[in-house]
């Protein structure tokens, strides 16, 4: 079968019918007259204004491969909807293969969709995450938009009588990267399924030399860029488990060994307050040392100036802590202030023989100040604060991805019928 | 039992132009003479001229008389054709003879294909778009209501279409790609059920060739 | 299942590095707070503890109290 051409009844120009007898209307490229080609007696349906001529992004007659099949662009429509007083227009390309039939490519702000007729009906009508939804082939499609679309301009041929200005009510449902469209007329309901395509994929399919314009904003069924959030948070949970296992391990291998424990006394009457302890041994790998002191202070304070000194290497760690404890009763009852106990943790102390130098000090006013205090030295105490810090740090990437997904989804739904409501960071592609 | 085999198929001569006529299957009742486009109906051992096909009926469907294919594990051959016209254009119903002796229909509307078989189900007296209908044990939903005219025939038919002018048709679908159609040209209405199929699924051979297309 | 690891590869690398670092730090007993460390002659300190000048010799006396 060969492609035949007809003569435009308006200007006489040649109009090729690349869709053969399927084409029921064709637009004359010269004078933009819409011709009824369903019968040999060609009649005029309408004429477009030259001022409204639109340049198609993909040239008519170009061929591209989809799903392994070659299709030819034989028609292009510019369609538009009106939402809240604003007109949104997009282009739809009619793809034709004499055996496989018709498909469509729609494009809006750089977002493309490959559309084919759905063979089955949706299984059920339901609701999902607060929106009406359709279940089709096992996937749940959420309602995105209901709008009346009309054709504002067209070029090429169509397997239906192109009636410019005719409005069709279309309901779109999304399950990114897919889009399910429902078109209802009094006598017919049709469903079509769209699959999101990027400009690069379309340019590649048609072997275009110049790239197509970049996509702006987020489109209804555009897949979210990140990996699915479920697996991201599962990764976090697994890392948390790893953290837990690590903590158990560190707890198990820690010595937690008390190497010195003694009760000492101080009195302001003493001439020389500084003293040194007996030598004790810190065993095992380089780890921390915890020094705890419990005093019998009551309504007084004491300053403990201490040094941990290695007898062999001469390394010394100096530290000091104030201890104070006050208590009494007033109109509200008993009150206390301060803590009679104090604890210091010295990090990264190598093993070896050590002693403590302790120089306590109390108030140097006229009164007699004295206290007794214990000094307990524990080797290799599991502290875990670094691991506690790791928890929020581990969570950061998952939180970041969730926030990013949230903003992406807000942008997506900003174009829908639900734009006024605040967004939720629900997953759309799990 | 291949319905296309055997020499017991009806033979005769076209009463209009004398050309030899042989029905392609045993149960054929109506045929179209390939030479003079006369529509002939079998009456006993005779062929009666009932009309002439005026419209050339050449369209861009890749399917033609003699096209062979496969469905449900069975091979079939296209032996007849009815062309309908409605407000939105035309479509074909191709009559298929299967190698296991059964017959079915291949509907071809704007290159959307469906295979269906006559079933003994009761259809509602009428129904509109969106109505749910039970046919046999299956539940379908009416997707299309069409009022169509019989435009022409080609090949052999198991019944006569010549006295049919216009009729209502329903297309029904279900969630699992099942397809059904109800033909109100007879009383009781004829019910067909089957499946929607892709062109590739049918593995068609001996199809129309298109210049510039593989 | 493999997607869990491949799809979140960077996350795994980051997380395991973090855990590794925290583990090593815990193992070595590291801390943000450092205790002043210096060299002394231990014998002299044991002989005369009072003469030792610790880095904490300048401290603010507690001057509060109820």
Q: Provide, as residue numbers in chain C, all residues whose Cβ is less than 8 Å from the Cβ of A354.
A: none
For residues A255-279, average pLDDT? 89
For residues A73-98, average pLDDT? 93
Mean of the per-residue pLDDT values of chain C = 75
Give the model's pLDDT for residue B3.
61
Mean of the per-residue pLDDT values of chain A = 90
- Flag if A307 and C50 touch (Cβ within 8 Å): no
Mean of the per-residue pLDDT values of chain B = 90
Q: How confident is the model at residue C1 (pLDDT cuts 50, 70, 90)?
A: low
For residues A244-260, average pLDDT? 91
Q: Are A295 and A325 in contact (CB under 8 A)?
A: yes
- Flag if B145 and A101 touch (Cβ within 8 Å): no
Q: Where are the domains of chain A?
A: 4-205, 256-381
- Flag if A117 and B112 touch (Cβ within 8 Å): yes
- Flag if A1 and B112 touch (Cβ within 8 Å): no
Q: For residue B158, count other CB atoms closer than 10 A to its CB.
A: 16
Asked whether residue B167 carries a pLDDT value surpassing 80, the answer given is yes
Give the model's pLDDT for residue B117.
96
Give the rounded percent of residues in chain A with a pLDDT score beyond 90: 65
Nearest by CB: A393 against C4, C18, C28: C18
The rounded distance, in Å, linking the Cα atoms of B136 and B117 is 13
Of the candidate ranges A177-191, B2-16, B168-182, B200-214, the one whose mean pLDDT is the lowest: B2-16
How far, CA to CA in Å, does C53 sit from each of A352, A356, A363, B34, C49? 23, 14, 20, 122, 9
For residues A293-322, average pLDDT? 91
Which residues neighbour A39 within 8 Å (Cβ) at sequence distance 6 or greater? none
For residues B58-76, average pLDDT? 94
CATH of domain A256-381: 2.60.120.380
Q: Where are the domains of chain B?
A: 11-52, 68-202
Q: How confident is the model at residue B2 (pLDDT cuts 50, 70, 90)?
A: low
pLDDT tens per residue, range A201-241: 999 999 998 888 899 999 999 998 866 888 889 999 999 99
Indicate the SS3 state at residue A121: coil
Q: Where are the domains of chain C?
A: 1-32
Asked whether residue A422 carries a pLDDT value surpassing 50, the answer given is no
Pairwise pLDDT comparison (A172 vs A364), residue with the higher score: A172
Gap from C38 CA to chain A (nearest CA, Å): 5
- Spell out the long-range contacts of B131-138 with Cβ–Cβ below 8 A and sequence spacing 24 or more: B133/B170, B133/B172, B133/B180, B135/B172, B135/B180, B135/B191, B135/B193, B136/B193, B138/B174, B138/B178, B138/B180, B138/B193
Gap from A395 CA to chain B (nearest CA, Å): 43
Give the model's pLDDT for residue B7.
61
The rounded distance, in Å, linking the Cα atoms of B132 and A211 is 48
pTM for the model: 0.79
Q: Which of residues 4-63 of C touch A (CB under 8 A)?
A: 4, 7-8, 10-12, 14-16, 18-19, 22-23, 25-31, 33-42, 45-46, 49-50, 52, 54-57, 59, 61-62
pLDDT tens per residue, range C31-50: 777 777 777 776 777 777 77
* Chain B adjacent subunits, 3+ CB pairs under 8 A: A
């Amino acid at each position: 079968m060969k492609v035949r051409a007809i003569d435009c009844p308006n200007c006489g120009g040649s109009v090729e019918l690349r869709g053969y007898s399927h084409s029921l209307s064709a637009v004359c490229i010269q004078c933009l007259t819409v011709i009824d080609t369903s019968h040999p007696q060609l009649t005029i349906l309408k004429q477009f204004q030259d001022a409204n001529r639109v340049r198609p992004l993909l040239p008519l007659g170009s061929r591209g491969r989809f799903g392994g099949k070659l299709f030819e662009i034989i028609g292009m429509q510019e369609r538009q909807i009106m939402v809240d007083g604003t007109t949104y227009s997009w282009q739809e390309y009619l793809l034709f293969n004499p055996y496989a039939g018709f498909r469509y490519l729609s494009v809006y702000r750089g977002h493309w969709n490959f559309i084919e007729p759905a063979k089955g009906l949706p299984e059920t009508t339901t609701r999902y995450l607060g929106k009406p939804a359709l279940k089709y082939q096992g996937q749940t499609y959420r309602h995105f938009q209901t709008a009346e679309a009309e054709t504002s301009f067209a070029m090429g041929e169509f397997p239906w009588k192109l009636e410019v200005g005719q409005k069709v009510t279309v309901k779109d449902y999304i399950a990114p990267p897919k889009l399910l469209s429902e078109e209802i007329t009094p006598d017919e309901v049709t469903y079509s399924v769209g699959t999101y395509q990027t400009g690069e994929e379309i340019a590649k399919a048609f072997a275009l030399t110049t790239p197509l314009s970049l996509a702006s904003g987020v489109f209804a069924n555009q897949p979210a860029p990140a990996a699915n959030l479920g697996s991201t948070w599962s990764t976090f949970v697994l890392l948390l488990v790893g953290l837990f296992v690590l903590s158990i391990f560190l707890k198990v291998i820690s010595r937690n060994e008390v190497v010195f424990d003694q009760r000492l006394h101080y009195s302001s009457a003493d001439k020389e307050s500084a003293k040194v302890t007996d030598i004790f041994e810190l065993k095992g790998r380089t780890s921390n040392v915890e020094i705890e002191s419990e005093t019998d202070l009551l309504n007084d304070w004491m300053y403990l100036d201490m040094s941990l000194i290695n007898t062999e290497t001469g390394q010394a760690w100096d530290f000091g802590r104030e201890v104070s404890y006050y208590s009494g009763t007033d109109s509200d009852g008993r009150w206390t202030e301060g803590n009679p106990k104090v604890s210091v943790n010295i990090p990264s102390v190598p093993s070896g023989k050590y002693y403590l130098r302790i120089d306590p000090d109390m108030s140097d006013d006229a009164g007699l100040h004295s206290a007794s205090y214990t000094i307990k030295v524990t080797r290799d105490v599991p502290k875990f604060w670094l691991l506690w810090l790791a928890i929020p740090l581990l969570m950061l990437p998952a939180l970041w991805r969730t926030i990013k997904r949230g903003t992406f989804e807000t942008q997506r739904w900003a174009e829908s019928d639900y734009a006024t409501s605040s967004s939720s960071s629900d997953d759309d592609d799990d | 039992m291949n319905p296309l085999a055997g020499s017991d198929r009806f033979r005769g001569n076209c009463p209009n132009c004398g050309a030899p006529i042989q029905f392609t299957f045993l149960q054929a009742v109506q045929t179209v003479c390939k030479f003079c486009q006369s529509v002939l109906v079998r009456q006993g051992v005779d062929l009666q001229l009932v009309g002439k096909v005026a419209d050339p009926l050449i369209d861009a469907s890749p399917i033609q008389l003699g096209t062979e294919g496969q469905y449900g594990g069975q091979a079939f051959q296209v032996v007849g054709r009815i062309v309908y016209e409605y407000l939105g254009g035309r479509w074909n119903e191709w009559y298929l003879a299967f190698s296991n002796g059964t017959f079915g229909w291949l509907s071809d509307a704007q290159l959307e294909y469906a295979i269906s078989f006559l079933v003994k189900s009761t259809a509602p007296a009428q129904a509109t778009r969106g109505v749910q209908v039970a046919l046999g044990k299956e539940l379908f939903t009416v997707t299309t209501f069409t009022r169509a005219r019989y435009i022409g025939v080609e090949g052999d038919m198991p019944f006569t279409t010549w006295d049919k002018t216009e009729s209502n048709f329903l297309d029904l679908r279900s969630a699992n790609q099942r397809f059904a159609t109800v033909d109100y040209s007879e009383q009781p209405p004829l019910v067909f059920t089957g499946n929607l199929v892709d062109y590739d699924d049918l593995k068609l051979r001996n199809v129309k060739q298109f210049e510039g297309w593989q | 299942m493999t997607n869990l690891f491949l799809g979140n590869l960077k996350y795994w690398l980051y997380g395991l590095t973090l855990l590794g670092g925290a583990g090593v730090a815990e193992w070595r007993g590291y801390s943000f707070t450092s205790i002043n460390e210096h060299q002394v002659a231990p014998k002299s300190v044991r002989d005369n503890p009072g003469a030792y000048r610790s880095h904490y010799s300048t401290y603010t006396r507690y001057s509060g109290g109820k």
